[in-house]
Amino acid sequence: MQLPEPDPSILARRDSIVAALLRLVPDGVVADRSGLAAFDGDALTAYRRSALAVVLPKTKEEVSAVLRYAADEGIPIVPRGAGTSLSGGALPSADGILIGMGRMNRIVEIDLDNRCVVAEPGVTNLNITRAVEKAGYYYAPDPSSQIACTIGGNVAENSGGIHCLKYGLTTHNLLGVELALPGGERIRLGGKAPGSAGYDLLGVVAGSEGLLGVVVEATLRILKKPEATRTLLLAFADVPAAGQCVADIIAAGLIPAAMEFMDRACIGAVEDHCAPGYPRDAAGVLIVELDGLASEVDEDTERLTVLARAAGAHDIRIAQDETERARLWAGRKAAFPAMGRLAPDMLCMDGTIPRKELPRVLARMAEMSGEFGLGFCNVFHAGDGNLHPLIIYDVMKPGELERAEAFGAAILKLCVDVGGVLTGEHGVGVEKRDLMDVMFAEEDLAQQQRLKCAFDTRGLFNPGKVFPTLSACVEQGHLHVHQGRMPFANLPRF
């Protein structure tokens, strides 16, 4: 993995840059080595890099002031939420300012009449639901890291979660944002009223991975809690049969609120970790949740049970109360930390495939495990084909990290080969950046970079992420020149 080389002229000005940032955000600048280490990457632990400085603003005005200063001085900016992302998207630039949004953590407004919440970007995902649950509402997107991940990061990565099958990703539950642009200007996209005129720029911002601006406020759709909810555990003697069951359920017109898969290796690790009561002898389990009107849930439970038995489920359990239901989901949410029982290090992949290809892809991944000589566990959002194979390795053993990365790349290429995509919810970042040309033609990537240039003319926002090659932006037919310097002078021009 290669990132842009730091600009020595910026590094030479570090002291004056830190001093200027302290004037803008007096109580929110981190510049010492030990402090910077806390922000040197995200949950994709293979990559680490220190920022020139970290700024922790508390207000929109402070965000704008920092961005305006960075633009004037030609300093790269890397936005960061809670650092729970898994693609290296928050990896700092050595000559850049990392702007952490964790202190902007207020819920600005709860509007039950319009069924929405207005929140600052540092509010955690779970706290949106906690703020409205007593009134009978909740926020649907629920990543496994929801106790820590923040709304600004969710918007940047277009995060999903267990219930994204029926209720969608962040983009489907995002009504509006206030966005700070690279020059410090702030614009509003969308809002409480449904629909908008002009281009769907809100849709562009969701999943833009910090390349276009910084979200300083988000308006989120909240939903009324369903009348009835039922959770089932389906156990299978072989993994492809579970994959076929998923395809059969969706083909029959059933859309569960959630449908999650774990294989035997993952089941064992989770049982050792928190003992949710999964059958250790199963090759794989599906956790399926149905919700809606009570009569509808009863009917769907019967239909799903018939389909599961036909597909080969040898054990079907229905949670009898809220305690049992919570225990089943606690095991799924603990899948990632449970991997620490199997190996010191883990690489969590993220690709999405057509559901009908699940049996084929699951079987091929098992073969790849032998080819690369590394263990892995399958845990994923089965209903929408969003795979999260967990490749386990030991970075202290020579060559294992390289084999893990090659194994992961092979899985992602397989996803594309069967008609899928490189990422479902984790983003591209640096992890999948050099695989983008597997999915996109040169013309596709060039057009995407033109869109980035429309927001970020000088290429200062999150450099080195998403695009396998960088291109300089043209502004009215000419490269933007600032203080006698032409950014990216060695790069191809559009």
pLDDT in tens, 453-476: 999 999 999 999 999 876 667 544
What are 405's two structure tokens? Answer: 């990365």
Report the b/e string of 210-244 with b at 16+ CB within 10 A.
bbbbbbbbbbbbbbeeeeebbbbbbbbeebbbbbb
Domain termination site, one of 56, 81, 100: 100
How many domains does the structure of the chain reveal? 3
pLDDT in tens, 404-446: 999 999 999 999 999 999 998 999 999 999 999 999 999 999 9
347 phi, psi to nearest 5 deg: -115, 115
Q: Are residues 216 and 295 in the same domain?
A: no
> Has residue 339 been placed in a domain?
yes
Residue 493 belongs to some domain of the structure: no
Give the per-residue pLDDT at 471. 64
* Locus of tokens 């600052």: 120
Residue 242 sits in the same domain as residue 266: yes
**351: DSSP letter:** E
Interstrand relation of 345-348 and 379-381 (parallel, antiparallel or unpaired): unpaired
Same domain, 151 and 286: no
Rounded CA gap, 462 and 439, in Å? 22
Last residue of a domain, which of 80, 100, 120? 100
pLDDT tens-digit series, residues 90-130: 999 999 999 999 999 999 999 999 999 999 999 999 999 99
Asked whether residue 92 is assigned to any structural domain, the reply reads yes
CATH of the domain at 403: 3.40.462.10
Cα 365 from Cα 413, distance rounded (Å): 11
Which residue, 87, 83, 90, is CA-closest to 122?
A: 83
Q: Where are the alpha helices (DSSP H) in 373-435?
A: 400-417
Q: Which of 169, 202, 224 is the last residue of a domain?
A: 224
Phi first, then psi: give them for residue 390, nearest 5 degrees: -105, 105
Classify residue 182: in a domain, yes or no: yes
Statement to judge: residues 259 and 320 lie in one domain: yes
Q: What is the mean pLDDT of the chain?
A: 92
Q: Which two tokens stand for residue 164?
A: 């994204």
CA–CA dist 376, 368 (Å, integer)? 10
Are residues 62 and 163 part of one domain?
no
Domain, as residue range, for 267: 228-431
pLDDT higher than threshold 90 for residue 248: yes
Question: In this structure, is residue 395 part of a structural domain?
Answer: yes
Residues 323 and 308 in one domain: yes
Q: Are residues 201 and 267 in the same domain?
A: no
Q: Are 280 and 268 in contact (CB under 8 A)?
A: yes
- Can you give the CATH number for the domain in which 179 is found? 3.30.465.10
Residue 191 CB-half CA count within 13 A: 5
Q: Model confidence at 479, in pLDDT bands (50, 70, 90)?
A: very low
Position 453 in a domain? no
- Do 60 and 131 fall within a single domain? no
Phi then psi for residue 157, to 5 deg, are -95, -5
**Does residue 350 belong to any structural domain of this protein?**
yes
Contacts of residue 306, defined as CB under 8 A and 6 or more positions apart, other chains included, come to none
Q: Considering only CA atoms, which of 142, 143, 202, 211 is closest in space to residue 178?
A: 202
Q: For the domain that residue 43 is a member of, what is the CATH number?
A: 3.30.43.10
Cβ atoms within 10 Å of 29's Cβ, excluding its own: 22
Looking at the structure, tell me whether residues 122 and 258 fall in a common domain.
no
Q: At 494, is the pLDDT very low, low, confident or very high (cuts 50, 70, 90)?
A: very low
Q: What SS3 class is residue 62?
A: helix
* 384 and 268 housed in the same domain: yes
Residue 175 shares a structural domain with residue 290: no
As a whole-number percent, the residues of the chain with pLDDT over 70 amount to 95
Q: Name every residue whose Cβ is closer than 8 Å to that of residue 232 and which is 6 or more positions away in sequence.
A: 286, 287, 288, 289, 290, 301, 304, 305, 308, 316, 317, 318, 319
468 within domain boundaries: no
308 and 425 co-located in one domain: yes
